Homo-oligomer: A and B are copies of this chain.
Amino acid sequence: MIEKTPHWLDKQATLTPNEIAIESPLIAPVTFSILRDRAQKFAKKLRFLGVQEGEHVAIHSKNSLEMIIAIHGLSYLGAVIVLLNTRLSKSELAFQLDDANARYLITTTEDQPYLEGLVNSDIVKVFSFLTVEKQPEMASDLKKELNLDDIFTIIYTSGTTGKPKGVVHTYGNHWSSAIASALNLGIDKQDKWLATLPLFHVGGFSLLMKSVIYGMPIYLLEKFEVEDIHQAIMAKGVTIVSVVSVMLDRLMEKLATKSYPEEFRCMLLGGGPASAYLLEKARKKHIPVFQTYGMTETSSQVVTLSPNEALRKIGSAGKALFTAQMKVMNDKQEANPLEIGEIFVKGPMVTKGYYQNESANQTVLRQGWLATGDLGYLDEEGFLYVVDRRKDLIISGGENVYPAEIENVLGSIDGIKEAGVVGQKDPKWGKVPVAFIIVEDKLNLDLVKQQCRELLAKYKVPKAFYIVESLPRNASNKLLRHQLVKQLDRYIKE
């Protein structure tokens, strides 16, 4: 259908040249026309360095204006961007660069030596943002139009089992994600979206797209710092914030007795099922929280609870966005209401596949539908409740035990700050749930066990509690249960 659009940043710089595109604590506000000019210059410098249309260029960077300029610059060249997680190990980095056929790697000045030591310079050329900026510009036909079927980004999924897979996003995927979100949340001329999620994850990256497509400023932070975010909401006009559970919890602690300014529109809560306890807490503090569900493969949110239903359907991720569809499958049949099965989604924001990974594509993509690997159910009105990651499911004595359910209960108990639950091998039951918990000063573990027995079926009560200082989380603060499983092995061996 729609195949080409004017280049988004170009167009926005034409429509609203003097509007703010990017705000950030330590830099002067950047308008759309300045952003366009800098991105175009960057593109011409990259061309001088040899970057051609269609080539794969990796970016390894924390959130920064330079990173955003590089991203838009690469779009002017029609190059494909491989977004690297800055927390990757050397071998993970090497794998992704190789798997994605990256020919260039752009990074910060400080990381450049480390990354140069990592790659074969005959295959991957490493440049810092600063190196690129120092080049002369090569006159070059920059893209004036974007072909929506062209590949824009490749982002690797966390991949808890097996090798990570490179999720391919076309311009059309990112476009459709931004439009579907707009139809859900509306587009308010006052909107300013906080960008604190890493831009190398799709949730953060999608904010850059929304910015140029809506003509909306983003407030950029390098990383998640409760105080900075709190200030951004209280004093910088931020109206929408994307968070995961643990971030929301800490922000609410910060809020104490105050409330957010009237202009504040909402928290978009993603990154896994949230506890009813947390949502109730937000409700009491008059914070509009909209639970969302999405993943790298869906170019960020694909299911969202609409503002009207937020209170009536607390704990639900809502319904599929306007252009998207959703179903829950059980043994190749659509599940009945309230019956748990695997969540499938479909829509123009869903990836067409993993990069050069036919076997993964065949497993996951089925006649336009994406098998998410997540478990959930629909209620009688068709609202989605995400239960857990299928691969995190604990089968104990034939019973399905969902870690998230237990974590939610533990999180609601006084004295427990955070909890992570995984399955531990057991000779009798196959597996049993055990809990890793971060506790406050005083905690009576016997009382905790007693409360668990009151709130949970017997087979769901954790058989062991491991008190830890921190829980493993990814750059978006999502809990990494597979790392807990590794820790468990250590605990048990010791």
Annotate A161-198 by CB proximity to B: 1 below 8 A, 0 otherwise. 00000000010100110010011001111000000000
**Beta-carbon contact of B214 and A183 below 8 Å:** yes
A56 close to chain B: CB less than 8 A: no
**Beta-carbon contact of B189 and A6 below 8 Å:** no
**Beta-carbon contact of A11 and B348 below 8 Å:** no
Give chain B residues whose Cβ lies under 8 Å from the Cβ of A306: 15-16
Give chain B residues whose Cβ lies under 8 Å from the Cβ of A172: 1-2
Chain A interface size range = 35 or more
Give chain B residues whose Cβ lies under 8 Å from the Cβ of A19: 308
Chain A, range 322-360, C-beta contacts under 8 Å to B: 322-325, 348
Give chain B residues whose Cβ lies under 8 Å from the Cβ of A348: 1-3, 5
**Beta-carbon contact of A1 and B149 below 8 Å:** yes
A25 close to chain B: CB less than 8 A: no
Copies of this chain, complex-wide, total 2
Annotate A1-23 by CB proximity to B: 1 below 8 A, 0 otherwise. 11101101001101110010000
Give chain B residues whose Cβ lies under 8 Å from the Cβ of A14: 319, 382
Give chain B residues whose Cβ lies under 8 Å from the Cβ of A188: 186, 188
**Beta-carbon contact of B176 and A187 below 8 Å:** no
A148 close to chain B: CB less than 8 A: yes
A373 close to chain B: CB less than 8 A: no
**Beta-carbon contact of A176 and B308 below 8 Å:** no
- Closest partner residue, chain B, to A6 (CB atom): B325
* A5-B323, A176-B2 given; A182·B187 CB < 8 A: yes
**Beta-carbon contact of A308 and B148 below 8 Å:** no
Query: Which of B15, B148, B186 is within 8 Å of A322, CB to CB?
Result: B15
Annotate A146-162 by CB proximity to B: 1 below 8 A, 0 otherwise. 00110000000000000
**Beta-carbon contact of A322 and B2 below 8 Å:** no
**How far in angstroms is the closest Cβ of chain B from A376?**
17
- Closest partner residue, chain B, to A318 (CB atom): B15
Give chain B residues whose Cβ lies under 8 Å from the Cβ of A307: 189
CA distance A323 to B148 in the complex (A): 12
A213 close to chain B: CB less than 8 A: yes
> Can you give 29 contacting A-B residue pairs, CB < 8 Å?
A1-B3, A1-B148, A1-B170, A1-B172, A1-B175, A2-B2, A2-B148, A2-B176, A3-B348, A5-B322, A6-B322, A6-B324, A8-B322, A14-B319, A14-B382, A15-B306, A15-B319, A15-B322, A16-B306, A19-B308, A182-B183, A182-B187, A183-B187, A186-B186, A186-B187, A186-B188, A186-B189, A187-B187, A188-B188
> Which residues of A are at the interface with B, using a C-beta cutoff of 8 A?
1-3, 5-6, 8, 11-12, 14-16, 19, 148-149, 170, 172, 175-176, 179, 182-183, 186-189, 213-215, 306-308, 319-320, 322-325, 348, 382
Q: A1-B172, A2-B323, A11-B322 are in contact. List 15 more A-B contacts (CB 8 A).
A: A1-B170, A2-B172, A2-B176, A2-B348, A3-B348, A5-B348, A6-B322, A6-B323, A8-B322, A15-B319, A182-B183, A186-B189, A187-B187, A188-B188, A189-B307
